[in-house]
Amino acid sequence: MLALPFAVLALLLPSDPPLGGVFNGRAGQLDVPLPRLEQTLTLDGFLTEPVWGQAALLTGFSQFQPADRRPSADSTEVLVWYSPTAIHFGVRAFAPTGATNARLSDRDKISADDYVEIILSTFNDGRQAFVFGVNALGVQADGTLNEVTSTASSSSSATNTGRTSADLSANFVYESKGRVTELGYEVEVRIPFKSLRYQPREVQDWGLQLVRRVQHRGHEDTWTPARRDGASFLAQSGRLTGLRGLRRGLVVDLNPSVVGFENGARKADGSWGYSPQGPEYGGTVRWGVTNNLSLNGTVNPDFSQVEADVVAFQYDPRQALFYPERRPFFLEGIENFAVGNNLVYSRRIVQPDVAVKLTGKSFGTNLAILSALDDRSTSIGGTGNPLFNIVRGTRDLGRQSRLGFTYTDRLDGEHSNRVAGLDARLIARKVWALSLQGAMSHTRADTNATTAPLWAATLDRQGRGYTFSARINAIGEDFDAQAGFISRRNVVDYVVSNNWTFFRPAGSRIETWGLTVRGQGTGPYDAFVRGRASQDRKLHLTTNAALRGGWRVSGGVYFENFGFDPALYSDYYVERDLGAVKDTVKFTAAGDPRLHNVDLTMRVATPEWGKFSGDFFYIGGKDENFDEWQSGLVHIVTVNARWRPTDQIRVEGQYQHQEFNRWTDGSTVSIRKVPRLKVEYQATRTIFFRMVGQYDTQEKLDRRDDGRTNDPLLLRTASGSYTRLSGFKRNRVRADWLFSYQPTPGTVFFLGYGSSLDEPEPLKFNRLTRVQDGLFMKWSYLFRL
């Protein structure tokens, strides 16, 4: 009997049909009149209580990734019912004995495990949803899903997921317990209505999609037969119908916190000393004004980081690096602030003394308002506290389309910045999506004022075998969003991408493979307005394959052509040696106005095996050397390895390597190597210990007018003097230790220590010098009234 496919075996197991009815997704039974039961339940991971016999049973899952329109190879059953105060889910996921990946882990860290996602669209609008994920042991991963952009991929076909990924930033209070069985695993989930926002109606319908990740096959299954050729994934959900008598009760969350620091630094006499800070007291309050509106306020919030941002490499010096938001106050309701071109970026608010936020949905309109008074130290003039005001609203249009409005301002004495914009996402014939955006900024600095535009348009066709995407994004030279994140101004970027995906029969060694042809042009905004050709031009050809068992491989060839950007080198000069004297002349392309490059890329990702997984990425070839405006030989490598020797220990290693050599003689221009190691021990679901070690070694040689005069390059300073662009070495070690106790979101105790050290030569570890260190403690407790 064990030789039978497990989808068949599950059907042979004797079981009584539940009183709530059976709803088969593949049979199109997608409207579920959900049973309302006046019962309570203690979660233990066993679906043996009589109440589960009265639930609705959802079956008939379909494969969605890597190929849709096929029955799932492993059977899944989900039982659903609701009480007056919560909705309950019971999951039976069938799999061969020993094939289930299940381990204790920190919250939101279950991507390597077998897990189930419950996607609840409480407003039944096909545009936004809550996401509640649980692995086979009940470890949670939660967040939100907001389809503000297209699901089409502009870079590769085989990796095109066909759906928007969930944002796991937000954390919600809910219960879950799970266990591994001989036939797979079982999970119980209880989601209280206090943790949700939903419609202000006595009787209402909710959208529901269930997603199961099957690691031993590398598959993703869905309850409804969702198709990849759809502009909206949420619009393909089923429905829980006739929900009534929902009692959310009074929703008031009080979350006081206390933080203390000891920061170490070297004193004037050369000794090492510490300066204690705190304890600092703060707190946050959340009030559920109605079923669909929440008001949050905070005073002196704790924004301490428990893990440093991972080092990000900069490939183009004209673009700033983006780091995601991590701070709890800004994470709740963050999906409502989502807008194209990152016109809202809450990390611009550095350390607010006080902030208030209103988020929710009413009458088909999502509304998000944020006001924050930042610390005086962030003021440009140092005369007051900068005030941020952010308003974001989106209005539903028809079944899947929406219209949005954004307003932000930063007021700082004589300095101010205001941005106003409109955007829309229009869906046609279920596979076409048109996204439009326009915005204007007005910036005043003392008596000077500037106004500049931003506009963008994207047309996507989300097909199963063929996907098309065309995008243009334009940002004026003086456009400024001081409450947002603009990686590069004065630029017009346009992309056209064609993706073909080919599906092989079930069980084939290669399950899907694809081909992408992508063209891109980039140039200054004013040049585009005057009808000039793009400054940078790229043609990328890539191919991808999803292999049986979860392997993914890709490779490509990039043809790129870069034009000289005078603005980037406006302060560059060449030191000319004229014998008895030296001369300083303006740096120019000097006969090389364009750089012609050819790069090769390769990526390999392993399946999520029980104890190991990893991925490898390489790009190399003839590439631009921005430091000297010359072609160079580049090698960029990223390797990630994840080892899980037990259910409680996780070891993650990463190595990043970026190297630029001169094309003319092979000498090194710059090299950077960053190995990083993270070791975690998960004692229980609520307690873990973590150590993160990172070594960042960077070396850059003296820059020269390579391939032309070979004379030294100079940089003109703000005072008008000149300094050589000399080489440097930097070798920094960073170590962070953390003890964490987090029984529920909002209730935490952190105790951590971090230290940074330097040494003159890389990886010698014999002349380490401490640069800074610090010890911190944080405690907060969530009182839910």
**Interval 333-344: pLDDT, tens:** 888 899 999 999
Lowest mean pLDDT of 139-153, 620-634, 753-767, name the range: 139-153
Does 213 share its domain with 340? no
In-domain check, residue 474: yes
Does 237 share its domain with 340? no
Q: Which CATH number is 71's domain given?
A: 2.60.40.1190
Q: How many domains does the chain have?
A: 2
Task: Tell me if the bond preceding 276 is cis, omega within 30° of 0.
Answer: no
In-domain check, residue 397: yes
Count CB atoms within 10 A of the CB of residue 536: 20
Does 190 share its domain with 90? yes
Buried b (16+ CB within 10 A) or exposed e, 422-457: ebbbbbeebbbbbbbbebebbbeeeeeeeebebbbe
> Residue 464 carries which DSSP code?
S
**Backbone dihedral region of 34: left (phi > 0), alpha (psi from -120 to 50 degrees) or beta?**
beta
Does 216 share its domain with 118? yes
Single pTM value for the model: 0.89
Percent of the chain beyond pLDDT 70? 94
Of the candidates 610, 588, 569, 596, which has an alpha carbon nearest to the alpha carbon of residue 715?
569
Q: Which sign does the torsion angle of CA 209, 213, 218, 223 carry?
A: negative
Please state, in angstroms and as integers, the Cα–Cα distance from residue 782 to each residue in 74, 251, 253, 283, 719, following that order. 40, 12, 7, 10, 53
Residues paired with residue 564 on neighbouring β-strands, in sequence order: none
Does 362 share its domain with 228? no
Mean pLDDT of the chain: 91
How far is it, in rounded angstroms, from Cα 160 to Cα 64?
Answer: 12
Over residues 165-193, the mean pLDDT reads 94
Number of H helices, E strands in the chain: 3, 44
Please state, in angstroms and as integers, the Cα–Cα distance from residue 451 to each residue in 140, 214, 476, 478, 525, following that order. 46, 52, 9, 7, 14
Lowest mean pLDDT of 6-15, 323-332, 500-509, 564-573, name the range: 6-15
Half-sphere exposure of 418 (CA within 13 A, CB side): 6
What pLDDT is recorded for position 308? 58
**Backbone dihedral region of 392: left (phi > 0), alpha (psi from -120 to 50 degrees) or beta?**
beta
The pLDDT of residue 310 is above 80:
no
Could you tell me the pLDDT band of residue 579, with boundaries at 50, 70 and 90? low
H or E stretch covering 571: none
How far is it, in rounded angstroms, from Cα 456 to Cα 404?
Answer: 14
Over residues 763-773, the mean pLDDT reads 89
Half-sphere exposure of 486 (CA within 13 A, CB side): 23
Q: How far apart are the first and last CA of the chain?
A: 52
Token pair 């003086």: residue = 478
Phi, psi of 525 (to 5 degrees): -60, -45
What pLDDT is recorded for position 156? 39
The pLDDT of residue 512 is above 50:
yes
Yes or no: say if 178 and 187 are a contact pair by the CB < 8 Å rule: yes
Tokens of 467: 């996907």
Does 238 share its domain with 345? no
Does 336 share its domain with 232? no
Using CB atoms within 10 Å of the CB of residue 531, give its burial: 0 to 12 exposed, 13 to 18 middle, 19+ buried: exposed
Over residues 224-234, the mean pLDDT reads 92
Cβ neighbours of residue 770 under 8 Å, at least 6 residues apart? 264, 266, 272, 755, 756, 757
Does 217 share its domain with 345? no
Over residues 555-574, the mean pLDDT reads 94
Does 74 share its domain with 204? yes
* Domain boundary, last residue among 244, 260, 282: 244
Cβ neighbours of residue 591 under 8 Å, at least 6 residues apart? 708
In-domain check, residue 71: yes
Yes or no: say if 393 and 364 are a contact pair by the CB < 8 Å rule: no
Yes or no: say if 592 and 630 are a contact pair by the CB < 8 Å rule: yes
Over residues 273-295, the mean pLDDT reads 90
Yes or no: say if 279 and 262 are a contact pair by the CB < 8 Å rule: no
Could you tell me the pLDDT band of residue 305, with boundaries at 50, 70 and 90? low
In-domain check, residue 152: yes
Lowest mean pLDDT of 177-191, 269-283, 647-661, 704-718, name the range: 269-283
Q: Which of 250 and 70 is assigned the larger pLDDT?
A: 70
Interior angle at CA 129, CA 253 and CA 19, nearest 5: 95
Find the domain containing 465 and state its range.
Answer: 322-489
Single-letter code of the amino acid located at 323: Y
- The three-class DSSP label of residue 527 is helix
* Domain boundary, last residue among 455, 489, 523: 489
How far is it, in rounded angstroms, from Cα 734 to Cα 772?
Answer: 10
In-domain check, residue 605: no
* Domain boundary, last residue among 489, 509, 533: 489
Token pair 């952010």: residue = 390
Does 213 share its domain with 341? no
Could you tell me the pLDDT band of residue 159, with boundaries at 50, 70 and 90? very low
Of the candidates 49, 32, 378, 279, which has an alpha carbon nearest to the alpha carbon of residue 186?
49
CA dihedral 560, 566, 571, 576 (to 10 degrees): 80
DSSP string of 14-54, one letter each residue = --PPPTT-EEETTTT--EEE--B--------S-TTSGGGGG
H or E stretch covering 297: strand 293-299
In-domain check, residue 582: no
In-domain check, residue 58: yes
Long-range CB contacts (within 8 A, 24+) of 35-39: 35/81, 35/82, 36/81, 36/82, 36/83, 36/84, 36/243, 36/244, 36/245, 37/81, 37/82, 37/83, 38/83, 38/84, 39/83
Does 239 share its domain with 332? no
In-domain check, residue 409: yes
The pLDDT of residue 19 is above 90:
no
Which pLDDT tens digit goes with each residue over 62-73?
Answer: 999 999 989 999
Does 327 share its domain with 217? no
What pLDDT is recorded for position 151? 43
Over residues 240-246, the mean pLDDT reads 96
